[in-house]
Amino acid sequence: DTEVTQTPKHLVMGMTNKKSLKCEQHMGHRAMYWYKQKAKKPPELMFVYSYEKLSINESVPSRFSPECPNSSLLNLHLHALQPEDSALYLCASSQAYAGLGNQPQHFGDGTRLSIL
Amino acid sequence: GENVEQHPSTLSVQEGDSAVIKCTYSDSASNYFPWYKQELGKRPQLIIDIRSNVGEKKDQRIAVTLNKTAKHFSLHITETQPEDSAVYFCAASGFLGAQKLVFGQGTRLTINP
């Protein structure tokens, strides 16, 4: 069973809609990530939060807006998306780096997003 | 930035045989190398990882080797089974990278009964 829970599993939205993706983990991890995965491609990093602060933004368009309201939750707010944004959006979590060395990242099942 | 190349892109082996997938990385500062298995429609699942201070790590039928000098690492699966069929991704992460994983392009492994 996955310990990183993502909702919804599927989302279809129009280009003018506003929606949010949610991710939750209860493993005490203090680093959380959003990835985008297109079909037959590897996951591509979008954002990294460490101790609830945004530490990496991989030059993602502003129509994607991340939010980390607490150490267990991660949101991705979507607005005015384009058809090419259709993809699987994966959330992951890990122990924070904090001198421990890189820590294993554990993924959720993802939200499959379709933009009409 | 880091670049990870993975070969082969597809691999087909007979059940019971071994499978080897190879990755090379470009950034000598990278020090953490995980491998993920992704079945169709499912999440990437961490199957094994290795750090730069270790040359080899084994977990039952799965092993990973790392050659820091040559900047390459490999996944070895022995006694393959049909349930090993999936896409496998290697990844690399640097010491100062704030846990930024860079993935290879993936290998689709098919185990033929």
| Residues counted in chain A | 116
Name the residue in chain A with its Cα closest to that of B90: A42
For residue B50, the Cα-to-chain-centroid distance in whole angstroms is 10
* Chain A residues touching B105 at Cβ < 8 A: 41-42
Could you tell me if B101 lies within 8 Å of chain A, comparing CB atoms?
yes
* Chain A residues touching B42 at Cβ < 8 A: 109
pLDDT one-digit tens code per residue, B37-65: 999 989 999 999 999 888 999 999 999 99
pLDDT one-digit tens code per residue, A52-69: 999 989 999 999 999 999
> Taking the CB of residue B110, how many other CB atoms lie within 10 A of it?
14
pLDDT at B4 over 60: yes
| B27: CB partners within 8 A, 6+ apart | B1, B2, B3, B92, B94
Could you tell me if A110 lies within 8 Å of chain B, comparing CB atoms?
yes
Tokens of A66: 């991340």
pLDDT one-digit tens code per residue, A1-27: 559 999 999 999 998 899 999 999 999
Phi-psi region of B99 (alpha: psi -120 to 50; beta: other; left: phi over 0): left
Could you tell me if B106 lies within 8 Å of chain A, comparing CB atoms?
yes
C-alpha span between A108 and A95 (Å, rounded): 15
What pLDDT sits at residue B29? 87
Q: Do A102 and B42 touch (CB under 8 A)?
A: no
* Chain B residues touching A42 at Cβ < 8 A: 89, 91, 103-106
